[in-house]
Amino acid sequence: MSGNGNYMLESNIEWHATMEQALINYVNDINANAKERGAIGTLTNDPEHWHGYGIYTPEQLGQYLDNEYKHNLEKDERRNQ
């Protein structure tokens, strides 16, 4: 931190930048693992995209992806009845 401004604001900006990089790294890891398993598509690693869904941390993205997976399983189950 520069020590010249508002500590809380600077701290918040640093936290946001750290979380953005963690989110990007998390998506990149998911994509690398998926590619190793033969997946063709990838998730976007653009943090602004995920912010539009209210996702700012790897944990939030993990929960979102888990929920999407469960939702799709339920749709398949209903379709196959």
User: pLDDT tens for residues 26-39?
Assistant: 999 999 999 999 99
Looking at the structure of the chain, the number of domains it has is 1
The whole-angstrom separation of Cα 10 and Cα 42 is 33
Asked whether residue 1 is assigned to any structural domain, the reply reads: no
Listed in sequence order, the DSSP H helices in 1-81 are: 7-36, 47-51, 58-79
Is 44 or 1 the better-scoring residue by pLDDT?
Answer: 44
Asked whether residue 28 is assigned to any structural domain, the reply reads: yes
Q: What is the structure's pLDDT at 33?
A: 97
Amino acid at 11: S
Question: Does the pLDDT value for residue 1 go beyond 50?
Answer: no
The whole-angstrom separation of Cα 72 and Cα 81 is 14
Q: How many CA atoms lie within 13 A of 15 on its CB side?
A: 8
* Residue-range definition of the domain harbouring residue 43: 7-79
